[in-house]
Chain A
Amino acid sequence: MTTLDAPHDTQFGRFGGQYVPEALMGALDELTASFGEAMADPAFLTEMNGLRATYGGRPTALYRADRLTEHAGGATIYLKREDLAHTGSHKLCNVLGQGLLAKRMGKPRLIAETGAGQHGVATATIAALLGLECVVYMGEEDCRRQRLNVVRMRLMGATVVPVTSGTRTLKDAINEAMRDWVTNVDDTHYLIGSVMGPHPFPTMVRDFVKVIGEEIKGQMLEVEGALPDAVVACVGGGSNAMGAFYEFIEDPGVRLVGVEAAGHGVDSGRHCATISGGTEGILHGARTIVLQDEFGQVQPTHSISAGLDYPGIGAEHAWLADTGRAEYLAATDTEALEGFKLLCELEGIIPALEPAHAVVPALRLAREMGEDATVVINLSGRGDKDVDEVARVLEMTSLDGAEAPPAGGA
């Protein structure tokens, strides 16, 4: 493998960097400077933290899932209830920070990409709250899969642009958002929804979502008097996982486990398990791990969850995987559906399909680790948006386990 330029302060190890058209470099410099100034400004932090609490519903609960624990037959399982945060996912932390930053930079227009729609909804929410214009790019296929979120965004005044280029999913929504940004960078902030993209986005988004791990740490110390033995989170771009992991990176006793979407299986060619099945490359402005062919052409991906359906991963995750500090597993569509049903039936919680991927691997881990251990699953979002899609898929695939249709009749 070729060596690229020596690592510098825009990188995590050899990952990260700024591989974008020159038109964006000025905006990235401005953003880097503004982010640094804002985070050092007590007034900015007070406003952000105040809104997190009174508007966003933080801290979110840490819930001991006794029936899930009993089902697993091992470690005590906790759920970090990001599904209870305003807009129904962990995404609000990031958009609140970036929205306030955009306002501070005098940019009246926000653009965003969205896969499952959770980030789009969060961006539309913050745009409404702060009085900013909002345009959300969403793959045409994802608009279909996540219709409820399209309606939510429109209700809050956002314009949703269905993306018909390329594979019509999250990757192409990002391409279109980047093109919009190249064109309108003077008055527009691109509110990237995960720990991906060119520097400073991976660092900035991480710093806005790391509150998840900080809360987990405080809550675990309070209820267990100890750190968790493992923190498990799903990974698409990787924002909820980075948010949950970051606080524990310097705590070697805490296993950090990311779960990617294996779709039909990592060997099937129809998945989006980037770390499990990808190679190093440059995508969306950063050097990271990418699902691509031998020529560097980015490959179409598949997942039952629109939010994980992305052929890249945040550069810091690539680095955590490379250094071995975090472990990355993959769960198939079938396992995600199993996790989805388990949370519904055992805990009365309908999870988003994204964190549903983390459930089955976490149960396996809980069994391995034994009764004295504790495992926290970051339940990154709620599943109202997925109910239609799950119902559709289960009807197609549940014939073997379904009750027989009523006999007789007319």
Chain B
Amino acid sequence: MAVAQRIAAVNAEGRAALIVYLPAGYPDMDTSQACIEAAVEGGADLIEVGLPYSDPLMDGPIIQAANQVAMGHGYTPADDLAMCGRLTAAIDVPAVAMTYYNIAWHYDGVDQLEAFADACAEAGLAGTILPDLPADEGVTWCKVSAAHGLETVFLTSPSSSDERIAGVVEASTGFVYATSTMGVTGVRQSLSERARPLVDRIRPLTDKPVCVGIGVTLPEHAEEIAGFADGVIVGSAVVKAAGEGGPEAVKEYVAGLAEGVRRAARA
């Protein structure tokens, strides 16, 4: 199922989509799959599966540490995608890969980007998010993704110029990722006030879904964002739950977020 389609379907129910990030291989490969399935049971509408990378510039300490644990097991990106293949067969919501460009660029094959796109599609993933690939460096990746039926998601930031936002909107097919704050992923107690103005700047340019992530931690955050965005993305807080309490804790945490999303009054 396509990402944009799924978000539109959820929005048609009168609420925003809940998007949950969890890394492959953390705390180990089987448990990561169980955690993601638990997130879906808890109410996630869309999954971002992290493929761990040694130097995750856009991630804060919780996700970086989880990536380090996963990499410490010796899992390769192919192992991660093999898990994604089993995962997508078991869940009925779309999943996308979230990783860094160097991982895509080194996937085993004659043409690595082609091979990576092929492997993602083979694993049943709907698309990718590569946070260190700005839209203007991503022309090749967009072409390769399109050829493999993969959706692309690029990031906008409160600091993006109108011109850059227009470029990101153009290049994104799954949804437009609005980062709520200046900063990297991580658990935060209060929500940045910069998310809404950013979403307001994106809206006039496109009908594509706009989802907000980075620093979204509590059900109240999810509720607030669900009032003005098409989707709410939560990562570090769920990863923390996975590390501390496994699938049960993930399910419980995500259920709280899902309630928050459902409480929101849609603008």
Contact = CB atoms under 8 A, between A and B. Distances in A.
Point out which of B53, B55, B135, B179 has the most chain A C-beta atoms below 10 A from its C-beta: B55
15 contacts: A2-B140, A4-B105, A20-B57, A21-B157, A22-B156, A22-B157, A22-B168, A23-B158, A23-B182, A23-B183, A27-B159, A282-B101, A283-B102, A295-B107, A297-B71
Interface in B134-173: 134-140, 154-161, 164, 168
Nearest to B114: A2
Interface stretch (A95-103, A179-187, A203-211, A368-376): A179-187
Contacts of B60: 179
B134 A22 contact: yes
A183 to B, nearest CB: 4
A165 B161 CA distance: 32
Nearest to B99: A296
B137 A18 contact: yes
Contacts of A292: 54, 102, 106
Contacts of A20: 57, 132, 134
B46 to A, nearest CB: 20
Interface string A1-30: 111110000000000011111110111010
B131 interface: yes
A298 B54 contact: yes
B134 A175 contact: no
Contacts of B213: none
B111 interface: yes
Interface in A325-339: none
B161 A29 contact: yes
A140 B183 CA distance: 23
A19 B114 CA distance: 19
Contacts of A183: 182-184
Nearest to B64: A165
Interface of B: 53-58, 60-61, 64, 68, 71, 76-77, 100-103, 105-108, 111-114, 131-140, 154-161, 164, 168, 179, 182-184
B155 A295 contact: no
A26 B164 contact: yes
Given A165-B64, A282-B101, A282-B132, A294 B159 contact: no
Interface in A176-202: 178-179, 182-186
A74 B138 CA distance: 52
Interface in A289-313: 290, 292, 294-298
B187 to A, nearest CB: 14
B157 A165 contact: no
Contacts of B139: 5
A166 B68 CA distance: 8
Nearest to A28: B134
A183 B214 CA distance: 11
A23 B106 contact: no
Contacts of B108: 294-295
Interface string A107-127: 000000000000000000000
Given A5-B139, A25-B164, A295 B103 contact: yes
Contacts of A182: 57-58, 182-184
A171 interface: yes
A2 B106 CA distance: 9
A285 B133 CA distance: 9
Contact of B106 (A186, A284, A296): A296
A265 interface: no
Contacts of B106: 281, 292, 294-296
A26 B140 contact: no
B77 A295 contact: yes
A292 B139 CA distance: 25
A295 B183 contact: no
A18 B64 CA distance: 22
B134 A18 contact: yes
Given A19-B133, A175-B55, A1 B101 contact: no
Contacts of A184: 182
Contacts of A27: 159
Given A25-B134, A171-B55, A179-B184, A296 B105 contact: yes
Contacts of A166: 54-55, 64, 68
